[in-house]
Structure 1
Amino acid sequence: MTSSAASASASDERPGTRLRVDAERNRDRILAAARRLYAREGLGVSMASVAREAGVGKATLSRRFATREELINAVFADRMDAYASAVTVALDDPDPWHGFTGYLYAICAMQAADRGFADVLTMTFPAAKALEARRARAYNDVLELIARAKATGHLRADFTDRDVPVLLMANAGVVSAAGDAAPDTWRRLVGHMIRSYAAPGAPVPPLPEAPEPSALYRAMVRLGRSD
C-alpha cells in the first residue's frame, strides 16, 4: 500500500474510532456520575439528574442506558459481586457462628459506605437480570451459612433467612437517618441484632459504642429539616 493510500485509510478509520472513544468516555462519565449521586442520595435520583451530573444530554444517557434498571445494573455489578464474596468468605470460616456474625457486619458495612447500595440490598429489580442473578447466587450461600451456624447451637433455631433482609431494611433506615452526623450508628444496631439472634450462651462480639448524644442530635436536626 502506498503512503498516500495508507494515509487515506487511516483518515477513513479515525472518525469511527473517535465515535467509539467518545461513546466509551460518555459511558464512563455517566457511570461515575451515577455512582456519586447514588452513594450520596440513594436510588431516588432521577435519570435527568444523572445526565446533568455527567455533563451529557438525556439522549446520550438513553443511548447508553435505556432504562433506570440498566444503569443500576451497571453501577452496582461490582458491589453485588463483593456482596456475594462476603458470604463466600463467611462459609470459609472454620467457625460457622463467627463466619455468620462477621458476614452480617460485612454486608451492613457495605450499606453504610454507599446509600445507593443500601437501597439495592433492600429492593428487587426484575429487569436487571444480571444483578438479580448475582443476588440469587448469594442467597443460596446464605442459606448454607445459616444452616451451619444453627448446627453449632449458637444461632437461634427460630432464625430464618427472611431475618437477613429485615436486618438490611433496618440498617438502611439507620444509615439514611444518621447520615454524616453519626455515621457509625449502624454498628450499634448490628451489635444489638446479633445478640437477639444468638442462642443462650453463644459467644457474641463486643457491643460497639453507642453514638454520642451530640451526634444523634445533629442527625435528628438534619432529619427534621428534610421533612
Structure 2
Amino acid sequence: MSAVEPSLSSRRDARLNRELLIAHARTAFVEQGVMASLEGVARSAGLAIGTLYRHFPRRIDLLVAVYGALLQKFLDDIEDGMNSADPWDGFCAFLHVLCSAQVGDRGFCDFISQRFPGDERTEALHNRLCGLAERVLAHAQEAGVVRPDVTTADLVMLLWASSGIADVTGDIAPRAWRRNLDLALDGFRVADGRDLTEPPIGDEQLYRVMARLNG
C-alpha cells in the first residue's frame, strides 16, 4: 500500500465526519436552538467530542457551517425582491419573510436575531441584514406609509416577540404568530394614533441585548 492511500482515506474520513457533525448539529439546533449541547451533537453522530472540536473549535464555527449559507441565500432572496414592491407592500413582505423564517427552526431564529461579537463572518451577515431593514424602513417612511418614529430596533423586537409566540403556540395554533404580526403592522402604519410614551432603544443598546442573547 502506498503512503498516499492512507492520507486520501484520512481526508475522506475527515470530510465524512464533518458532514455528519453538521447534519446532526442541524437537527439539534432546529429543535433546541443555538445553545444545543455540543456533546449531544457529537454523541448522536457517533463521534467523540474531540472530533467535533477538531473540525469546529468554537460553537460559532459550527453555527456558521449549519446556517451561514442559508442566511446568505435568505438575504439574497430578500434583496432580489425589494425593488419591485411598493413601499408599504415591501415593508410588510420584509417582516413576513423574516418572521416566517423563524417558524419551526429555533436555531435559525436565534442565528438571525442574535449577535456574535468578535466573529467577522456573522457580523458581516448581520450588518447586511440590518442594512436591508434600514432601507426597507426608510423607503416606507419616506413614502409616508410607516410612522416616522419607528426604528430598526422596533423591527428586531418584533422578531423576538414573533419567535416567542411561534415557539409556545406552534403545536396548538401554528399560525398565531401571523395575527400578532398583522396587529403590529397596523401599529407601524401611519394613522391618527397617539404618540408613543417610550422612546426607542438606541443602536448600541440593541447590539448589547442581541449579543447577550447567546450567553
TM-superposed CA distance for 1:90, in Å, is 4.4
Contact 2:87 2:145 in 1 (8 A): no
Out of 184, 187, 190, which is 1:196 matched to?
Answer: 187
TM-score normalized by the length of structure 2: 0.83
Q: 2:131 aligns with which of 140, 163, 183?
A: 140
Out of 79, 88, 100, the position equivalent to 1:88 is 79
* One-letter amino acid of the structure 1 residue matched with residue 179 of structure 2: R
> Please, what TM-score do these two structures have when normalized by structure 1?
0.79
Could you say which residue in structure 2 is the equivalent of 1:225? none
Match of 1:59 in 2: 50
Q: 1:151 matched to which residue of 2?
A: 142
Partner secondary structure for residue 113 of structure 2: coil
Cα deviation 1:168-227 (Å, max 9, x = unaligned): 1101211221232322221111111111111129xxxxxxxxxxxxxxxxxxxxxxxxxx
Structure 1 distance, partners of 2:141, 2:118, is: 35
Q: Deviations over 1:139-186 (max 9, x none)?
A: 112211111111221111111111111011101211221232322221
Is residue 70 of structure 1 aligned with residue 61 of structure 2? yes
TM-fit CA distance, 1:93: 2.2
Give the partner amino acid of 2:123: E
- Match of residue 96, structure 2, among 105, 108, 120: 105
Amino acid at match of 2:65: A
Residue equivalent to 2:202: none
Q: Which amino acid aligns with 2:64?
A: N
Structure 1 window deviating more from structure 2 (58-67 vs 127-136): it is 127-136
Q: Which of 35, 42, 48 is residue 39 of structure 2 equivalent to? A: 48
Q: 1:79 aligns with which of 70, 86, 108?
A: 70
Which of 3, 7, 27 lines up with 1:36 in the alignment? 27
Q: Is the 8 A contact 1:121 1:168 kept in 2?
A: no
Q: Which has the higher contact order (CA 8 A, sep 6+)?
A: 2
CA distance in 1, matches of 2:107, 2:180: 19
Unaligned runs of 5+ in 2: 193-215
Cα distance in 1 between the residues matched to 2:73 and 2:176: 22
Aligned position for 2:175? 184
Give the gaps of 5 or more residues in structure 1.
1-7, 202-227
The question of 1:164 aligning with 2:155 is answered: yes
Deviation at 1:71, TM superposition (A): 0.9
Deviates more, 1:103-112 or 1:72-81: 72-81
Structure 1 vs Structure 2: percent identity of aligned residues? 32
Number of aligned positions between the proteins: 192
Q: C-alpha separation between the residues in 2 aligned to 1:155 and 1:74?
A: 37
CA RMSD of aligned residues (A): 1.7
Residues 73 and 131 in structure 1, CA contact (< 8 A), matched pair in contact too: yes
Residue identity matched to 1:182: A
Stretches of 4+ aligned residues off by more than 4 angstroms: none
By how many angstroms is 1:86 displaced?
4.4
Q: Distance in 1 between matches of 2:33 and 2:7?
A: 37
**For residues 20-40 of structure 1, what are the alpha-carbon distances to aligned partners after superposition, in whole Å with 9 as ceiling and x for unaligned?**
111110111111111111111
Q: Deviations over 1:86-116 (max 9, x none)?
A: 4413422241211110010001111013111
Structure with larger Rg: 1
